[in-house]
Every structure is written in C-alpha cells, then in structure tokens.
Amino acid sequence: MKQSTLELDSLGYDFFREFARYEYCLKVTGFRKGTNTRVQADWSKYAGEFVSLIENPNEDLNESISYLINNPPKKQVLEDGLLCWSNVLPSHRNKSELIFSLICRIRNNLFHGGKFNGEWFSPQRSKELIKHALIILRTCGKNHPTVLNAYNGQHDE
C-alpha cells in the first residue's frame, strides 16, 4: 500500500474518531435534538456559538474556512435513478452554520461510502477536506468551555 494511501487512511480514522467524539460531547452538553426514540447532535445550534469566531478567524482557521467555502464537498444524490453529485450548498442562516453543514457533509460522504470503496476517490481533495474539517472541529471545540470539558471527560450526564 502506498504511503499516501496509509496517510489518508490514518487521517480518515482521525476524522471518524474526532467527529464521533464531538457528536458525543454535543449531545451531553445540551446541543441535541430528538425524541424519546432518537437523539442526535444539533450541529446548527452548536454553529450558533461560533458566528463571531467563524466571521473573524485567526490565520489558520481562516485558511480552513476558506478552503471549505471555495471547495465545498458535494452531496451524493439520485438523479433519474443514477448516483451523481450535486454542487448545491446546504441551506444556512450564517457562515458558521454553512461551515458545520459542510463538515457534516464530509462526514456523510466518508462514512456512507460516497468517497471510499476500498480506494479513495480524489485522494488529494479528500485529504484537504478532511484536514481542514479537523482543524475547524478542534479549534471550535477548544473555544467552547462546556464542550471542551466534555471532551476532556469532565461533564455531568
């Protein structure tokens, strides 16, 4: 297996692990929605906490935000019974909500097989999308004290 494939596999695993960990943190800190039979992380509500940070980012965060906006992940759709990719951006109320929607789309594409069938599709693009999504997830997590405490195992359930 090529070194670049191993690196992307490792990056994909890191993204899987971090995304799952943040979904847990969001749910235990009140960023959740659902019913008695189903609960999920409320990424839109969480995004609302970062409107200012996303609008006025530091240099590293700005690079990642710009990358996702300029190279957004596509959405896999059915068109006339055929799998294809849509360039339509998710609906959003602000830039922060758009960024978190794009991160969730990266997650969906990766975890539901849209970008990987044993071989990486567009490996360089996948690497960049995952890398920048991780930077944003981690930066926002470190800038939210309640979520950071949950991330570090200090929370009430």
- Domains of the chain, by residue range, sit at 3-151
Strand partners, 41: 32
Count of H helices and E strands in the chain? 7, 4
The pLDDT tens digits along the chain (157 residues) read 576 788 999 999 999 999 999 999 999 999 999 988 999 999 999 999 999 999 999 999 999 999 999 999 998 888 999 888 888 888 888 999 999 999 999 999 888 766 666 667 788 999 999 999 999 999 999 999 999 999 999 976 6
Exposure on the CB side of residue 124, measured as CA atoms within 13 A:
0
Handedness of CA 142, 152, 46, 137 (dihedral sign): positive
Question: Is residue 99 within a helix (H) or strand (E), and if so which, with residue range?
Answer: helix 95-111
Helix, strand, or coil (residue 15): helix
* Prediction pTM value: 0.91
